């Protein structure tokens, strides 16, 4: 199964999006019914965008959002996939913003694996998308908050570098 996953990603990087979608579909078909399909479906949505089939990509991301709209980790992951692949950024910003809103609820935070280990990660993803969407001042504000909540030195350094990049973009 991991070979198919790797193969689909290699096909996508090679620009063979139709074949990557086909392989991704096969992979999803053979997954254990209890397995988390979200990462695989997210990659398939990205491949649709890259293949020029934006409507299929948007529909797939929207269906994933409907399942994840109250889950901080899933929302952040959806937004991150879009940001990483530079697709669907308008919706990704709304999803990341929703994840940030949910992260203010202590009950939701308690169930978030991501925030347990990387408290600034949701804010960081939101800031990245804001920056990509040209909202640089807001990105600086949000990334500063991510920096201030980070607990791992690696994340602190990454957030510091991003802050420098965002501030340089204002000049």
Average pLDDT over residues 66-80: 89
CB 89 within 8 A of CB 82: yes
Residue 102 has pLDDT above 70, yes or no: yes
Q: How confident is the model at residue 126 (pLDDT cuts 50, 70, 90)?
A: very high
CB 31 within 8 A of CB 1: yes
131 closest CA partner among 123, 81, 100: 123
Fold (topology level) of 72-171: 1.25.40
CB 69 within 8 A of CB 61: no
Residue 6 has pLDDT above 90, yes or no: no
CB 54 within 8 A of CB 84: no
Query: Is this model's pTM higher than 0.75 or not?
Result: yes
Question: Regarding predicted confidence, which is higher, 5 or 92?
Answer: 92
The tens digit of pLDDT for each residue in 142-153 reads 999 999 999 889
pLDDT value for 143: 97
Q: How confident is the model at residue 140 (pLDDT cuts 50, 70, 90)?
A: very high
Q: Does domain 1-68 have CATH number 1.20.1440?
A: no
Q: Delimit the CATH 1.25.40 region(s) of the chain.
A: 1-68, 72-171
Q: What is the percent of the chain where pLDDT is above 70?
A: 99
The tens digit of pLDDT for each residue in 12-37 reads 989 999 999 999 999 989 988 888 88
């Amino acid at each position: 199964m991991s070979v198919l996953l790797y193969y689909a990603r290699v096909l996508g990087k090679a620009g063979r999006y139709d074949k990557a979608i086909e392989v991704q579909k096969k992979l999803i078909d053979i997954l254990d019914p209890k397995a988390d399909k979200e990462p695989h479906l997210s990659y398939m949505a990205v491949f649709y965008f890259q293949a020029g089939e934006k409507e299929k990509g948007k529909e797939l991301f929207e269906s994933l959002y409907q399942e994840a709209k109250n889950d901080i980790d899933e929302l952040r992951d959806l937004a991150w996939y879009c940001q990483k692949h530079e697709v669907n950024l308008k919706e990704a910003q709304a999803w990341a913003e929703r994840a940030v809103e949910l992260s203010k609820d202590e009950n939701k935070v308690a169930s978030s694996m991501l925030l347990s280990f990387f408290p600034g990660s949701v804010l960081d993803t939101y800031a990245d998308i804001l920056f990509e969407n040209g909202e640089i001042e807001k990105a600086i504000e949000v990334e500063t908050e991510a920096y201030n909540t980070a607990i791992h030195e690696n994340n602190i350094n990454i957030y510091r570098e991003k802050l420098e990049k965002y501030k340089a973009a204002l000049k």
